[in-house]
Amino acid sequence: MNQGKIWLVVKPTVGLPLFLGGVTVIALAVHTAILTSTAWYPAYYSGKAAVSAAMPKTAAATPAPVATAAAPADASTLVAKATTAKP
């Protein structure tokens, strides 16, 4: 522990309660900020179930489209059309 010498200056009976109290105050401040600035968190925090969107019944009955492979381009045609002259 590289910060162990702090206890030579501050007594653990004073420092630990101050440290833990500071952590508690920060945690409560963060939770208060989230509760007051969001709409979804209070409902989540109170335990209410979220309303989920139902999947349309027509989408389940319709099969996914099948992709067809495109015909490969003729490599000799592509090479023949390329210019070899330098500008």
63 assigned to some structural domain: no
pLDDT at 59: 52
Does 2 map to a domain?
Answer: yes
Q: What does the pLDDT read at residue 17?
A: 95
Q: Within a 10 A sphere around the Cβ of 15, how many other Cβ atoms?
A: 13
On whether residue 77 sits in a domain, the answer given is no
Q: Report the range out of 29-33, 45-49, 60-64 with the highest average pLDDT.
A: 29-33
Q: What pLDDT score does 21 carry? A: 98
Please report the pLDDT score of residue 42 as a whole number. 75
- Kindly state whether residue 36 falls inside one of the protein's structural domains: yes
Structural domain includes residue 12: yes
Domain count, the chain: 1
pTM over 0.75: no
Is 78's pLDDT higher than 80?
A: no
Residue pLDDT, tens place only, 9-37: 999 999 999 999 999 999 999 999 988 89
Average of per-residue pLDDT values in the chain = 77
Residue 52 lies in a domain: no
- The answer to whether residue 1 scores a pLDDT higher than 80 is no
**Assigned domain for 5 exists:** yes
Show the domain range for 3. Answer: 1-45
